[in-house]
Chains A and B, each alone.
Chain A
């Protein structure tokens, strides 16, 4: 007997394969990742949709900066933005349920948790089961890798900073959130958010629980 959760995963894989064939969504770069720059719901235009093989997908907003929400299930129905969709303006449809949401200004701050620098998107790099975003924050260049946690219970965001002074502290000051929990394995929580002292590399995990069976 196949467990219901396993059956569900298999159906999701079949759906993903069908989606690739029909153009509902498709892989870019390493076949393990699904990528779309498109009109995402509740995000700036040309934001990212990134889907992992484990059925976890997230929206990365290239204007606000950062992960805006995470959903679980299928990937996207992109029919509304394809060439024969006509002149209608309609965001794509998420083929799953949102399990985490984060709003507000871009949360990464250098030196002063009350003041953030402008987020300027500079590019991305595709890896095996991970994507690395590159952006400028003031004088610093940040590389942020987003990958699924091995047990499927969340995402890990690994930040690498270039251009920061040696003793500078960094904060992750999250805005309003719902549906999950942020965990900083090597940071500490203070009144403003998560603090990382004199760190050039640090990680933040987004926990939203394992898929219910």
Chain B
């Protein structure tokens, strides 16, 4: 959108009169038990849901009743809704075509279109999906196993291979082609075309027809991110390679893996940008969902929706990720219900609203379906952040106050990268702050050019906009951004993307282990970040909580007088009577300890005997 068009839009819109986005929780009938694992719309606009209970439900309009189209499937995790009569579903064993051939509005015929991967009784053997391209090919992701399977070999589909591809890892590819991206042709041929996936619980096609998948932090996966998946890619997890034609056991080394590793186009730093990314979708609403037309939205299992802007540099995708919804429970730009945890699926409705399918059952989360609509208000956001030859070019949705630019620029840009290793995730490493030597804010305050000397490929660039203000004096709705610079415009390309191998004799810990090794001061600092991201929305930045709700740590000293064990239990399991969610699966134990350390340091009394028990 041109600058002129933007200014006209800003003049026309009732700026400030509306919040920006409205979240509505869709009330589902009791028999539709939630566990929403697929959301799609037919060309006529019928909403179609898949659930982890194995059912497919439809609703022809907002006012129409829900009806069950099919049931009995094995944990579907994606769908393509061709019509009210034909739905394609990715469930554990197969890609299935479901058809209503007798007009009774229920599927009666189920045709297997793709099945060429191994399967055992491992609970983590999912088939994530689903997308179909213009030629009718379907795309999905075969997950790894989470741990050793137990059933006798005769009870599997395919022959099990228990030998690690390189070294023992947390997630394994015991059954054929687990960890591969698959393309299933209209003729029913399954092509295993890219490897290195771990739990790619999000599959999306860009408007240009490029395939993207999300994956989560874990072994060989330093952090989550959005991957551009092409033929013959290797996306990092070694286990899948045992099924590659020509694979020779013992032939791979960590360095060989790293040199082949195609890192995420856009990294989602673990914590600030979620813990478990889901489905990516593109805003093609032509402005009906606000100012972000053409950008990508990604669900996360924590109460978070991300916004991504892709940029092609040297022919390859990379880009920037922002929080969009969920980082504050009651921000000025959001009205309606709170965003719920457990979001794994997204779909844009024909009217430009965004639907979020949520599930519990992977440790946390909530069952449900939420709808996000744009009410015409334009939140203050960084609209665009792109790499330039000398730094970064930014666009804003509202004019920025030039007097606040120096304070922002004075912070510089924090850069970091990760280890590529078999450990579970990686802490940020090689952190430095690059100076912002110059900021050229446009006369209208809607764009800026940053000059950042010392740009280097292979790093994540963290931008902190807390000190920037709009002309109206407001702060940005989401004042943080992470740009992934696998490449520079000068042609510099980083092998292994934003990772490096641990150096000889370097004690390279995984992300969780690194948290446990933090010194007390660093633990408190880490806890402060966690508190800001996950706790402050209810307990408030000053710790005074919410009347009748979240605990007030400042005025009610009994709150933190409990033992560490009791408080950690509350953090992990939640407090149902107070509406406090369980963070046991959202936050690693190290982060739970870190936030407790911060609570004690910021709001607590000196240690008591009771606490040490």
Partners in one complex: yes
Q: Which residues of A contact B (CB under 8 A)?
A: 21, 23, 26-30, 34-39, 42-46, 62-63, 81-85, 87-89, 91, 121-127, 134
* Interchain CB contact under 8 A, A125 and B70: no
Considering the complex, give the chain A residue whose CB is closest to the CB of B361: A83
B71 within 8 A of A: yes
Give Cα A89–Cα B121 distance, bound, in whole angstroms.
7
* Interchain CB contact under 8 A, A45 and B53: no
Task: Render B117-154 as a binary contact track against A, CB cut-off 8 A, 1 for contact.
Answer: 00111111100000000000000000000100110000
* Interchain CB contact under 8 A, B74 and A46: yes
Give Cα A30–Cα B101 distance, bound, in whole angstroms.
13
Considering the complex, give the chain B residue whose CB is closest to the CB of A23: B33
Closest 8 CB pairs of A and B: A83-B361, A28-B71, A35-B72, A28-B72, A46-B93, A37-B74, A123-B111, A83-B35
* Interchain CB contact under 8 A, A26 and B71: yes
* Interchain CB contact under 8 A, B72 and A37: yes
Contacts of B97 in A (CB 8 A): 123
Segment with Cβ contacts to A, from B102-110, B299-307, B485-493: B102-110
Q: Which residues of B contact A (CB under 8 A)?
A: 31, 33, 35, 52-55, 70-75, 91-94, 96-97, 106-112, 115, 119-125, 146, 149-150, 155-157, 359-362, 367
User: Beyond A23-B33, A125-B110, is A84–B72 a contact (Cβ under 8 Å)?
Assistant: no
Contacts of B31 in A (CB 8 A): 21
Total CB contacts across the A-B interface at under 8 A: 111
* Interchain CB contact under 8 A, B121 and A91: yes
User: Beyond A23-B53, A27-B71, A29-B71, is A123–B157 a contact (Cβ under 8 Å)?
Assistant: no
Out of B91, B108, B361, name the residue touching A126 (CB < 8 Å).
B108
Out of A26, A29, A37, A85, name the residue touching B93 (CB < 8 Å).
A37
Contacts of B75 in A (CB 8 A): 81
* Interchain CB contact under 8 A, A43 and B155: yes
* Interchain CB contact under 8 A, B361 and A44: no
Q: A37-B92, A121-B112 are in contact. List 18 more A-B contacts (CB 8 A).
A: A29-B72, A30-B106, A30-B108, A37-B54, A37-B93, A38-B54, A46-B92, A46-B93, A63-B156, A81-B75, A83-B360, A83-B367, A123-B96, A123-B112, A125-B109, A125-B110, A126-B107, A126-B108
* Interchain CB contact under 8 A, B156 and A29: no
Considering the complex, give the chain B residue whose CB is closest to the CB of A125: B109
Out of A36, A82, A88, A122, name the residue touching B72 (CB < 8 Å).
A36
B357 to chain A, nearest CB (A): 13
Contacts of B55 in A (CB 8 A): 26, 28
* Interchain CB contact under 8 A, A29 and B121: no
Contacts of A62 in B (CB 8 A): 93, 157
Considering the complex, give the chain A residue whose CB is closest to the CB of B92: A46
